[in-house]
Each structure stands twice: as structure tokens, then as C-alpha cells.
Amino acid sequence: MKTLSGLSLQEIEKITDELGVTKFRARQIHNWIYLKSVTEIDEMTDLSIKFREELKKVAKITDIKIKVKQVSSDGTIKYLLEFPDGECVETVLMRFDNRANLTACVSSQVGCAVNCSFCATGKRGFIRNLSYQEIIEQVLTIQRDTGLKVTNVVFMGQGEPLLNLDNVLKAMEIFNENFQIGARRLTLSTSGIVPQIRRLADLDMQSTLALSLHASNHDTRLKLMPIEGKYNMDELHSALKYYVEKTGRRITIEYLLIKDLNDTVESAKQLAAYLKDIKCNINLIPYNPTEKNDYKRPSNNAIMKFKYLMEHAGKKVTVRLERGADIDAACGQLRGKV
Ligand code: SAH
Ligand code: SF4
């Protein structure tokens, strides 16, 4: 039994070829799935009943179930989605009222092996990779449920996308071609898997690469992110330079601000020096509390001061708005709680 959601037109054509009908049927099925968001083959009313029966024998539309849906007071919606093997991931839809953008924050893995000390997802350990179809189904599910069209996708849910890169790249290609979401409206966020950053550079990726740096020196980063023991900040630095050179694209540096740990004037100075020769914007993320650690969110004053220092160093800086914190949908709070 094949799942149709997430397949490219060519892949659907393979199915219609096997059923001995024209390629035009594939185009119709493709439209029903991507433009009309149907969930049942019987809703594809421009296909003959006979053909629908044949199709139902070999394929179904979706494999995913909405297990829990929570709506935050700021309009953010968090879904807990379940796959047929019982594993769950979270997907978040964020709307910013002043803009027409609807951003889906998708998961790329169940759990995560990187195990950063501040992140709730890492606490679960790594369970499995998601297939490209499972990544795409997250966005299709949101569109079906809300009747809205997602305009941006960020890989900032559960998992490390660069450790599941083949599926992530395939999903991005399909977002691009089948959802008409431009490359620049797709963002990959990584904890810093150096060889894969170089691979993306060689592919001349035109989507946005966001790096979770979170520290201004090796010791602090190692404390926050064990991955620093494998790929340290020096190696990262040269990979980032290589990426910018190859793609011409500006990188987004994500920097988690934790009170008294990496939010000091000295940290800001070190960070400015580290990023001096890297074309980047900085996104400051005030820490969102999760269970089981005693990190604290800095005061607004400390956040603004850090922002000022980075701007003074010539960088464009944004402070990430916290979305959906009342439903644990903010960054780092996702962990597939059931
Ligand atoms: N694994 C990838 C993408 C998923 S995490 C990565 O780490 O980049 C998405 C973002 O949320 C990352 O920048 C991550 O560092 C951040 N994050 C994790 N835990 C957080 C927390 N408790 N508060 C705020 N941001 C957090
Ligand atoms: Fe994994 Fe990203 Fe969480 Fe680190 S922050 S544990 S890389 S999901």
C-alpha cells in the first residue's frame, strides 16, 4: 500500500502507469493532494468510480493522525502527529499577525541524538529518521486542518536535519516544486554538522542555513552542546566561510541567551570577533525554560544590551519572539509528550 501524500508528480505517474491509465490521471491526483488537500480517494471526484476503486487497492492518501492539537493565545497551533508505527512528532504553525506569512516548524527526526543540555527534544534520545514523505505530511496535515496555505517552512522542530539530510533535501525539493514555496522561504537549522554544511555548500543551496551556535567559546559551547566535542568552533568557522563563499548566501546565527552563562559583555565581544569575517545575521533566542535544568532566561535589559553590542559590531540582529510558550510550543520545548 503506497501513501500518496508527499510524492512527486513523477512518483505518482509511476503508480498510474502501473494501473494502466494516462499520465493525466497522475496530474489530477497531484492537484487533489497538493491544491485541494483531500484526505480520501473518493473525494477525487473527477476520477471515475472504477478507477478510484483500483487506486484504493494500491494507495491511500495519508498515514498521519492528529493526536493532539493545541491552540495558543497568540494563535500558534501545535500538533502532536502520530505515524503508523506509533511514533509521534510535533509540528507547529506560527502566524505573525502583522504579516501574511504562515510558517510551519517541522520535525526531521523522532527524538535527536545531539543531546544539547538545554533542549527537551534531546532528552528523549534518538529514535528514528523521518522519511521525506513524513516531513511533507506534516505540512499537508496543517493545510488540511486549517484550510490555510503554508508560506514558509523551518526545520526547527524535533531532530537534527543535517543528520537526515537526504530525506530533508528531497522534502525541500518537493516543497519547492509542489507547494511553490521558494527556496528562500525554507530554512534549515543545524547544531553544526560540519561535513554536511560543506555538502550543502557544494550543492549551492539557496535556502537559508541557520546555525545554532549558542556560545562564543569552545568551553561554553561544549557545556551546552556535546557536538562541539566532535566538530569544534574552529572547524565550524571554516565550514561557514566555505558555505558563504560557495553559495553567496548570508547565514543566520542562532544564539540562545542564557542568564549569566553566555549573555555577558565579554561573551558578546568574543562572539563579535568570531563572526567578524562571516556574512551573517544574528537571531538571539532568549532561553525558554524546560524541565530538568536550571538555566534561566536573561532579563530584557540584558537581552537588549547584548543586541546593542552585536549591532555595534556591524551585525543585523533580531530577537526571536517567543511563540506558543503557553502550550510548550516554543523553541526547545518540543519533545513528543503524549
Ligand atoms: N536540531 C536543530 C534544529 C531544531 S532546534 C538545531 O539544533 O538547530 C531549533 C532551535 O531551537 C535551535 O536553535 C535550538 O538550539 C533552539 N532551542 C532548543 N532548546 C531551546 C530552549 N530551551 N529555548 C530556546 N531555544 C531552544
Ligand atoms: Fe537536537 Fe537541536 Fe535539540 Fe540540540 S537543539 S538536541 S540538535 S533538536
Q: What percent of the chain shows pLDDT beyond 90? A: 82
Q: How far is the CA of 332 from the centre of ligand 1 (A)?
A: 5
Reference 105, options 335, 329, 337, 338; nearest CA is 329
CB of 13 within 8 A of CB of 23? yes
- Where is pLDDT greater, at 47 or 97? 47
Q: How far apart are CA 96 and CA 241, in angstroms?
A: 32
Is 121 a pocket residue for ligand 2 (Cβ < 6 Å)?
Answer: yes
CB of 152 within 8 A of CB of 185? yes
Quickly tell me which residue has 510535533 as its cell. Answer: 90
Ligand nearest to the CA of 209: 1
Q: How far apart are CA 326 and CA 141, in angstroms?
A: 22
Q: How far apart are CA 52 and CA 63, in angstroms?
A: 18
State the pLDDT confidence band at 75, using cuts at 50, 70 and 90.
Answer: confident
| Among protein residues, the one whose CA lies closest to atom 26 of ligand 1 | 332
Catalytic entry in 90, 134, 137, 160: 90
Mean pLDDT of 222-248: 97
- Give the pLDDT of residue 287: 92
Q: How far apart are CA 142 and CA 5, in angstroms?
A: 13
Mean pLDDT of 132-139: 95
Helix H or strand E encompassing 13 = helix 9-18
State the pLDDT confidence band at 66, using cuts at 50, 70 and 90.
Answer: very high
Ligand 1 nearest atom to the CA of residue 119, by list position: 19
**First-to-last CA distance in the chain?**
28
- Where is pLDDT greater, at 65 or 96? 65
pLDDT digits (tens, 9 = 90+) for 247-268: 999 999 999 999 999 999 999 9
Q: How far is the CA of 323 from the centre of ligand 2 (A)?
A: 18
Q: Which of 90, 107, 160 to mutate to test the pocket of ligand 2 (most atoms within 8 A of CB)?
A: 160
- Whole-Å CA distances, 43 to 53, 65, 86, 176, 285: 12, 18, 27, 25, 44
Mean pLDDT of 19-27: 95
Q: How would you label 121-141 residue by residue, b for 16+ Cβ within 10 Å and e otherwise?
A: bbbbebbebbbbbbbbbbbbb
Reference 276, options 247, 298, 244; nearest CA is 244
β-strand partners of 95: 102
Mean pLDDT of 208-215: 98
- Give the pLDDT of residue 333: 66
Q: How far apart are CA 16 and CA 47, in angstroms?
A: 12
State the pLDDT confidence band at 199, using cuts at 50, 70 and 90.
Answer: very high
- Give the pLDDT of residue 330: 65
- Give the pLDDT of residue 164: 98
Q: How far apart are CA 70 and CA 327, in angstroms?
A: 7
Helix H or strand E encompassing 254 = strand 251-257
Q: How far apart are CA 195 and CA 57, in angstroms?
A: 43
CB of 236 within 8 A of CB of 192? yes
CB of 158 within 8 A of CB of 89? yes
Helix H or strand E encompassing 104 = strand 102-105
Q: Compute φ and ψ for 21, nearest 5 degrees.
A: -115, 170
Q: At what angle do helices 233-247 and 194-202 cross, to 10 degrees?
A: 10
- Pull the grid cell for residue 48: 471515475
Q: How far apart are CA 317 and CA 311, in angstroms?
A: 6
**118-132, 176-190, 203-217, 223-237: lowest mean pLDDT where?**
118-132
